[in-house]
Amino acid sequence: MTTLLQQLVYGLILGGTVGLIALGYTMVYGIVQLINFAHGEIFMVGAFGALATFTWVIPEGVKGTWYITLPLMVIAGAVVSMVIALIIERLAYKPLRNAPRLAPLITALGVSVALKEAVRIWYPGATAPLPFPKEFLTGSIEIGSILIPKTGLLIIVVAVVLTVLLQVYINTSRMGRAMRATAQDPDTARLMGINPDRTIVLTFAIGAVLAGVAGVLYGVHINNISIDIGFQNGIFAFTAAVLGGIGSIRGAVIGGFVIGLVKTIAGQYFPGGTQYDYVWIFVVLIAVLVFRPQGLFGETERVRA
């Protein structure tokens, strides 16, 4: 029983990271119907941006004081991710906005490879995994025989809080209503005085900031980053977005937690162990899509006139 509960804790921690990344996938698809396969690399560059800030910007005398360094690293990671995402949107995706869907999809794959190779070539030492500073409280919280790493608890709390704030922002703010209107019908939204281009840019920016925050917290928790973390966690996040219903905010996060739990439980108890935990993730995804093709919280896709 203790092992099961401990695996559930690890699953929630992984799910929090995956959920934060999945929000970017689901928001971008919801508004421009683009599966942005480069979003996993946005998560990766956020982690490297924070590491660069810690290595070359933050003074030596401040390092180790986590309540100063961690916020600075989170801001740096979020800014780096947002700037890269906006450059990609402007140079790679915007010119293809009215092209057949296959064109931006292939472009996204190309951008993903380009980002990964750019970091590998230009970031010093990125050809191998790099240590990431553990700029947060160390140790674990003990509940009986269950250990909850404090960095893992931070990931779960941040994922839930940011999701709630994002949902409230989209439901109540003027720009949130503009995002929903653009997602439903950009032509009609334009007639109502909404600027779809500005709305799309904001959507990319918000998704990138969330991915950047996730990248920094992931590095703090794992104490290690590499250029491969974007692909691996990006696949999990894309699967979570589809599982929860792509286009749904709460679906993306709940899908992330489901993916995290399935991976850890399957790795511990299912046949094949950790070698086949990826298989069980997709088994669950297929099983859900057979009965609900739109995902757990998604809506049936409307065909635009």
What the block records as the tokens of 135 is 């700029």
Q: How far apart are CA 31 and CA 34, in angstroms?
A: 8
Residues 214-234, mean pLDDT to the nearest whole number: 93
Q: What is the DSSP letter of 91?
A: I
pLDDT-based confidence at residue 305 (cuts at 50, 70, 90): very low
Strand partners for 146: 143
pLDDT computed for residue 304 by the predictor:
45
User: Quick check: 300 pLDDT over 70?
Assistant: no
pLDDT computed for residue 213 by the predictor:
95
pLDDT computed for residue 144 by the predictor:
85
The mean pLDDT of the chain is 90
What the block records as the tokens of 288 is 């859900």
User: Quick check: 65 pLDDT over 80?
Assistant: yes
pLDDT computed for residue 161 by the predictor:
95
Tally the residues of the chain.
305
Strand partners for 141: 148
Tell which phi-psi region holds residue 260, choosing left (phi > 0), alpha (psi between -120 and 50) or beta: alpha
Q: Is the pTM of this model over 0.85?
A: yes
**HSE of 83, CA atoms in CB hemisphere, 13 A:** 9
pLDDT computed for residue 303 by the predictor:
43
**Which residues are within 8 A (CB) of 92 and not within 5 positions of it... i.e. 6 or more apart?**
104, 107, 108, 111
The full set of domains in the chain, from first to last, is 1-291 (1.10.3470)
Q: How far apart are CA 293 and CA 27, in angstroms?
A: 19
Q: What percent of the chain shows pLDDT beyond 70?
A: 98
Q: What are the pLDDT digits (tens) for 118-137?
A: 999 999 999 999 999 988 88
Q: What are the pLDDT digits (tens) for 198-215?
A: 999 999 999 999 999 999
Distances (CA, A) of 217 to 130, 245, 298: 15, 25, 28
pLDDT computed for residue 162 by the predictor:
94
Of the candidates 282, 18, 1, the residue with the CA atom closest to the CA atom of residue 163: 18
Q: What are the pLDDT digits (tens) for 231-287?
A: 889 989 999 999 988 888 889 999 999 999 999 998 888 887 788 888 888 999 999
